[in-house]
Amino acid sequence: MGILQYAPQALKNLFLPPVTTSYPFEPATYPEGSRGHVDIDIDNCISCGMCTRACPSNALSVDKMKGTWTINRFDCVACGFCVEKCPKKCLSMVIGYETPNNTKSEAVYQKSPEVLEREAKQRAEIAAKAAAAAKAKAEAAAKAKANANSPSETEPKA
Amino acid sequence: MGKRSVIPFGPQHPVLPEPIHLDLVVEDERVIEAIPSIGFIHRGLEGLVKKKDFNTMTYIVERTCGICSFQHGMGYCETLEHIMDVEVPDRAKLLRTIWAELNRMHSHLLWLGLLADGFGYENLFYQCWRIREKVLDLHELTAGARLIFSVNKVGGVLRDIDEDKQKIILNTISEVEKELLVIEKTFFNDYTVQSRLKGVGILTKEKAHELGCVGPFARASGLNVDLRKLNYAGYGMIDLEPITSNDCDSYARCYVRLKEIYQSIDIIRQAISKLPADKTISVPVKGNPNGEFITRLEQPRGEAFYYVKANGTPYLDRMRVRTPTFANVLGLCEMLKNTELADVGLLVLTIDPCISCTER
């Protein structure tokens, strides 16, 4: 038992510089691989919606027609599960935390017009192909039915 | 004999950021009985499992607690791995052990700081938290975040600790060990610290056993219980002996937790030396879980209990977590009997309460 156990450390403290960083006057340092916030390479996004289904805090939403990817930064818990789930790997966790705000605003990412146009064209092509295939199928079915009907009509007579 | 009266402690009290309410029946300045009530911040985790995919739930379950987040994620994943018959690679098991022990170091350093703050030793409080900061930096370096790891998944872990990082971990924990030796003297020998801790809040071994106390709180009462001996995660490959004390008072609780930091440092060294060369850190998991299982593991605060019941769909039927504080609240109320009213704040701290986890 003693009363001056802490004295050496206390004396040292008098002459040591502060251990804290006076952020924001000095820049903060983050190690590589720090999960700061989610970033998106929006033009590679295929709007599949895997990230919205994976998100534990329902912070993400995707609009395929408008080509937007929306994140509520204040709902996001930066777990990185969307990044892991993304099939096109266009999501990534980047260094740096979100700045504070007094409203729960959403960040909306919009695909560029060229990408939207290309996607619309692709969709139209796919739709046209599907329509053509459906038409062909319907015609084939009608023909088969006609073929099937004619022998069945003749068979009992014979 | 003085007149009895009831003094409320909490739900909001300066020693704790979390809400626990105790009705203290006092006679003069002496506490005769303490009646606890919890449940101020229930969050309904058990209902949420029915709405979220079991993989997504990993990230929600580990947010049960901000301090021992890693063990929560690990407990949940291990339960599901048992149900789905998944064998996790050895490297992943040892990585889990390393992270779990880093988590324990940071939790115990946080508690030592809070204890010092509780008995009014501000300078010691800041010293503990200064050391803790180094451990938090290791968390950020290895897992990407300072408190919530998010590195667990069903079937393994998401990140590897490469050799450069292993070196940084070993160097940092050596520094922590050195700095801890300096403040350890103050905790163990200082007159002011001893006058607040020695002989205060005695919980006998029999009572601790009877009330089902867990973790360092029970070990400080002489019970040799440490679930790390059950060999979950990588603990089967690690050599460890539980730290116990027979003093049964607040000083013993401080002793056990401080010594456990050294034990964690030792376990991390062992785990890093035993990391296999095979870099596989996870195995693919197919299908959905079907069945039920119970896992128990040792958190910084004691035994945590996970129960999962799955039905073959991506949504679980039931999930239950019992956190160590829930088991220790009864011990706390027993310990508070016959103590001074002025000591109550400090004694509530000595069980290392985590009320918000208890009410997930």
Handedness of CA B69, B71, B72, B78 (dihedral sign): positive
Dig out the tokens for B166 from the structure: 């292993």
Distance from CA of B140 to the nearest CA of A (A): 6
H or E stretch covering B129? helix B122-143
Q: Which residues pair with A69 in a beta bridge?
A: A62, A109
| Residue pair A64/A47 in contact by the 8 Å Cβ criterion | yes
Whole-angstrom distance, CA of residue B101 vs CA of residue B108: 10
What is the mean predicted confidence (pLDDT) over A30-40? Answer: 88
Residues of B at the A interface, defined by Cβ within 8 angstroms: 52-53, 55-57, 59-60, 63, 123-124, 127, 130, 133, 137, 140-141, 144-145, 148, 150, 158-159, 182-183, 185-186, 189-192, 194
pLDDT for B23-34, tens place per residue?
A: 999 988 889 989
Q: Note whether A5 contacts B189, CB cutoff 8 Å.
A: yes
pLDDT for B148-165, tens place per residue?
A: 888 888 988 988 888 999
H or E stretch covering A117? helix A113-157
Cα–Cα distance list, A157 to A149, A152, B271 (Å): 13, 9, 88
Candidates A40, A60, A42; CA nearest to A50 is A60
| Residue pair B224/B244 in contact by the 8 Å Cβ criterion | yes
Q: Three-state DSSP class for B345?
A: helix
Distance from CA of A68 to the nearest CA of B (A): 23
Number of residues assigned to chain A: 158
Looking at chain B, the whole-number percentage of residues with pLDDT higher than 70 is 100
pLDDT for B76-102, tens place per residue?
A: 999 999 999 888 999 999 999 999 999
Q: Note whether A31 contacts B191, CB cutoff 8 Å.
A: no
User: Tokens 């911040």, residue?
Assistant: B41
What is the mean predicted confidence (pLDDT) over B340-348? Answer: 87
| Residue-level pLDDT at A158 | 44
Distance from CA of B329 to the nearest CA of A (A): 30
Q: Which residues pair with A110 in a beta bridge?
A: A68
pLDDT for A89-146, tens place per residue?
A: 999 888 888 888 888 888 888 888 888 888 888 888 999 999 999 999 888 888 888 8
- The confidence band for A1, taking pLDDT boundaries of 50, 70 and 90, is low
| Residue pair B275/B94 in contact by the 8 Å Cβ criterion | yes
Whole-angstrom distance, CA of residue B95 vs CA of residue B78: 14
Q: Note whether B63 contacts A77, CB cutoff 8 Å.
A: yes
Q: Three-state DSSP class for A17?
A: coil
Q: Note whether A34 contacts B123, CB cutoff 8 Å.
A: no
Q: Note whether B182 contacts A33, CB cutoff 8 Å.
A: no
- The confidence band for B183, taking pLDDT boundaries of 50, 70 and 90, is confident
pLDDT for B311-330, tens place per residue?
A: 888 899 888 888 888 888 88
Mutate which: A6, A60, A84, vs B, most B CBs within 10 A: A6
Least confident span in A53-57, B198-202, B355-359: B355-359
Interface A:B, Cβ pairs < 8 A: 68
Dig out the tokens for A153 from the structure: 């009509």
Q: Three-state DSSP class for B40?
A: coil
Mutate which: B54, B150, B181, B195, vs A, most A CBs within 10 A: B150
